[in-house]
Structure 1
Amino acid sequence: MPILSRADTSVVGRWWWSIDRVMLTALILLVGIGYVLALAATPATNIALSDPRTMVMIKQIVYLAVGAFVMIATSMLDLKQVKLAALGIGIIFLILTAFTLVHGVVIDGGRRWIALPGFTIQPSEFLKPALIIATAWLLAERRRTPGFPGMMAALGLNGLVLLMLLRQPDVGSTALVASTFLVQLFLDGLNVYWVGIAVAGFGAAGFAAFEFIAHVHMRVMLFLHPTKDKAYQAITALSAFGNGGLWGRGPGEGQVKHYLPDARADFVFAVAGEEFGLIVCLGIILIFAVIVLRGLARILRETDLFVALAASGLLVSFGLQAFINMASSLSLIPTKGMTLPFISYGGSAVLAVGLHMGFLLALTRKRNHAERAAERGAGATMQDRVA
């Protein structure tokens, strides 16, 4: 982007001088890595439009371009527009998520998708960032308006979404949404006693899932007692890192993508490890760390409670999702079908994470006192919460 004058008062000018350019650069790097791995994870022997694998690669490149556009466009919103956008998106995709329970497409045992001409969409992916922002608004508004039932509304809304995710079933997304909500409650001032109760509840829910949900039980047992035949995906993914070594086997030279059906999605990090080596994998981890730490640094200086709660929730969800994907590929935790943001294949995943990080960039933009007053009026502050 050309250098813009600080005197430029256009939307783009104000955006450029207020956006966190370090975080934006790191996110664009992830999009670039996603482009490279879209090529690397496609085991095509020739580039021909008649080859389905080539079409998958082209579709992913298009998804990445659209996802980057969505992220940048969303990052130009002010706080009021962020709230309105989240409200509209939340209502639409809450209805669509409920629709999947009745008429959703079943893939790998989960009824999470809606079939559209030429592609499928997973509404819950778009619902997550909207839910985080809606929760932050409800919790902050109850501090601003005495008598406003923000806590009860937030509990009810999150409970409804968690119930729908469990019905799909999508245990990973359920855990992710619940963890994010708990962090937001804690930052809002939830008593440590209730935090302990919630953590105990997480443990009980995890044990119940292990005992009563067959595929969860199987994945945990395979993690604890892996065998070559039954833990094929995890062992194959782990061996890919060993094959890649420090510098990798080279672009296109990896073999894991020929043997793992989820190589371009759940195990794309293993593809990166085999073809580009430990150095590139550490670089990917570093980029995610820069985004999370940079966001946390911005939040620590934030005085608006809504912004602090919304941005922290978005960061926790983003960072935890990346951790789960990479840790699964390294067999540090049981395998879980969760995408690596901007890198794994998937239209819904890429577009939703573009929206997700666009909201985060918009929330963490620098604002002067006049802009803050115009956007939030007499909104709640972190000092209000402490008081």
Structure 2
Amino acid sequence: MITSIALPRNLRVGGGAVDQLPDVVAGLGAARPLLVSDSFLVGTGLAGRLLTALTEAGLDAALFDGTVPDPTTDSLVAGVQQVRAHRADCLVGLGGGSPMDTAKALALLAVQGGEMRDYKAPRDNRGPALPVIEIPTTAGSGSEATQFTIITDSASDEKMLCTGQAFLPAAAIVDYELTLSMPPRLTADTGVDALTHAVEAFVSRKANAFSDGLALTAISTISRTIRRVYENGEDREAREAMMFAATQAGIAFSNSSVALVHGMSRPIGAHFHLAHGLSNAMLFPAVTAFSVGGAEARYAECARAYGVAGEADPDALAAGRLVEALQVLCKDLDVPTPQSLGIGQDRWQELAPLMAQQALASGSPGNNPVIPTAEEIEELYAQIYS
């Protein structure tokens, strides 16, 4: 079997790597970068610091700070206008998953035009786009290394998965020092997001030898460090390990796929405006319990990488221990339920059939070890409510 592998062609990894941004831009042959970020990172001064560095290097840089959490098609309009007005020849996505996904979407729309819904899955997008450099400030989404972007359709509230090498960043700068100020809740949610990427990449029906090694390494690293960064955000060793693991998990799922957790998570985020990593964390234990029967041996390997099972343990026992470990992890990280967040049960139940259909339409559940029906997805939504 032949596996197609796609990676950013330039990765700069390590503390202080962000200072090399001007060199990375120049290495792409670009001279007019547009920094895509949000008001928070403008407020911290980080966006301004990078703009100054680009300008002092002789580059004609500009800023778009109109990124919103869980970017929407409406939020892209001003961004496309600014890309064209600046005559940008590359984009720099700075932030968590939302600014990075926004940069990818703008890079394609500015060249190809049309509406983002024209590019949603199952379409495989390989057409031209501006080169993108991604700089993550959270250890979670892995968007700096993936050929995916997620944009919510403002008209329908559908969280659209858009795929293909047109969305693959040309370069990424992975600097763990940018995550040192992350608060505990964001640290937990993005960390579980990365763990979900790794596990789903490994158990996916599209898993391969290349993605397997990265996924298992990420699982092992995250299991050893996620509680450390949650309890002490200034633990530099743990922060560095989590940042690297998140990128490894991103590369793994970009070259394999995610599965049912992500398929179900996107509609929750779209309809209830919850952070992507948080909705993943809410779903992860229950969906894993539902899925283990379809790939018991694969889940058992995840359990061994996680450190809750040994080589001599039967696969069934090991897979069960993984489910238990995920339940304990979410408890230790104080992952809330939809009910505890104040989401009304009637509204949750009312939207469950639509969310189930949207989950299936994304294609991700089709990669799951157990391919669910719409009714089974609705039951899983009911399970996690409280």
Q: What TM-score, normalized by structure 1, do the two folds share?
A: 0.30
Q: Which of 1 and 2 has higher RCO (CA within 8 Å, sep 6+)?
A: 1
Question: Which structure carries more strand by proportion?
Answer: 2
Greater C-alpha radius of gyration: 1
